[in-house]
Amino acid sequence: MKKSDVAGYSRPRLVVIGGGTGLAVMLRGLKELPVDITAIVTVADDGGSSGRLRSDLQMPPPGDVRNVLIALADTEPLLEKVFQYRFENGDGLAGHNLGNLMIAALKDITGDFNHAIQEMSRVLAVRGRVLPASENEVVLSAEMCDGTIVQGESSIPKSGKRIRRVFLQTPEPKALDEALAAIAEADGIVLGPGSLYTSILPNLLVKGMADAVRASAALKIYVCNVMTQPGETDGYTAADHVEAVHRHIGPRFFDAVIVNNELPTPTVQQKYAEEGAEPVLPDIERLRRYGCEVVAANLLQFRTVLRHDAAKLSRLIVQLVQGRKRRRQSG
């Protein structure tokens, strides 16, 4: 019997796939609930501190992994501040994040990026497991609607052109075996929220990943962003996000889609409009035509920035997964 089995009750096993700020926000909510979490994190980043370490040390970029580790950590606030500290001065140090440097050091010490993440997870008392999508080099490129090719994750949103598709450069990176095993054993698989073309799809394009998700008996959930992302999803509705995933990896991929159905205040909308972002509209009937159950709710939370309400979103996810588990057990 697994440790998670108590009096016949098994904690739902969730696999969360993505990267970026949106994923970290959601994980802060999920870690407070009775679930077993495995986060599979993108390693396509090539900008900032992560990009420099990737180039200088020939290692996967640690930035998205760092944010997920902190989101799942059960540690003192001061240690979190230290881990997230970014140097502003110093030759070679300026712009680097201390957590990135620590992961890079552990990678050199252990000789393995995934091993470094597991060691850092122990240091930070992480609630769950964090895995890179691949330990191979992942180079993301995009074909734009005018036929031009843009190479590099950080360059794609800056191109000023509409994206037709993204792809990984050869040699084709392979998914981590532990990630594929977690997907096979999951009760629920969650993709998003996050940058559609530069955080979510790069994971699914890693060799073996999309096939493993499709083959899994888990409930597959897509969490749609609350706002469009300039340079990536300008003008996209919720169904446009799902359609983009289908174009890359085939139809009928998700069982359920979670969408926000509340508009931000006019003041907040104006603030984001100045940055080129607008609310992602929940075109529910079109989503249903893609074979998805649609769960719509007010999921907005605004403090200094607009985000998903992590507690509400997490409860919705767990309710969906537990509902599927109960139906299967009773059937």
Domains of the chain, start order:
10-42+133-330 (3.40.50.10680), 46-127 (no CATH)
Give the residue-averaged pLDDT of 63-70: 95
- The number of C-alpha atoms within 13 Å of 109 and in the hemisphere containing its C-beta is 12
Strand 36-41 with 129-132, pairing: parallel
**Distance between start and end Cα atoms, the chain:** 22
3-class DSSP assignment, residue 80:
helix
Cis link prior to 34 (omega < 30° from 0)?
no
pLDDT digits (tens, 9 = 90+) for 108-117: 999 999 999 9
Q: pTM for this one?
A: 0.94
Contact 72, 49 (CB under 8 A): no
3-class DSSP assignment, residue 283:
coil
CA proximity to 312, closest of 223, 228, 237: 223
Give the residue with greater pLDDT, 16 vs 22: 16
Tell me the residue type at 66: R
Token pair 């997490």 in the structure block, residue:
314
Q: Report phi then psi at 67, rounded to 5.
A: -65, -35
Give the residue with greater pLDDT, 61 vs 324: 61
Q: What is the dihedral of CA 176, 203, 198, 13, to 10 degrees?
A: -100
Contact 318, 35 (CB under 8 A): yes
CA proximity to 30, closest of 18, 42, 45, 44: 18
User: Exposed/middle/buried for 18, CB within 10 Å: 0-12, 13-18, 19+?
Assistant: buried
Contact 183, 189 (CB under 8 A): yes
pLDDT for position 328: 78
Using a pLDDT cut of 90, give the percent of the chain over it.
Answer: 85
Contact 167, 141 (CB under 8 A): yes
pLDDT digits (tens, 9 = 90+) for 89-109: 888 888 899 999 999 999 999
pLDDT category at 331 given cuts 50, 70, 90 is low
pLDDT for position 326: 81
Contact 293, 255 (CB under 8 A): yes
pLDDT for position 329: 76
pLDDT digits (tens, 9 = 90+) for 240-262: 999 999 999 999 999 999 999 99
pLDDT for position 313: 98
CB atoms within 10 A of CB 71: 24
pLDDT digits (tens, 9 = 90+) for 203-223: 999 999 999 999 999 999 999
CA pair distance 216, 222, nearest whole angstrom: 15
Give the residue with greater pLDDT, 2 vs 159: 159
Tell me the residue type at 170: T
Average pLDDT of the chain is 93
Give the residue with greater pLDDT, 36 vs 1: 36
DSSP 39: E
Give the residue-averaged pLDDT of 268-297: 96
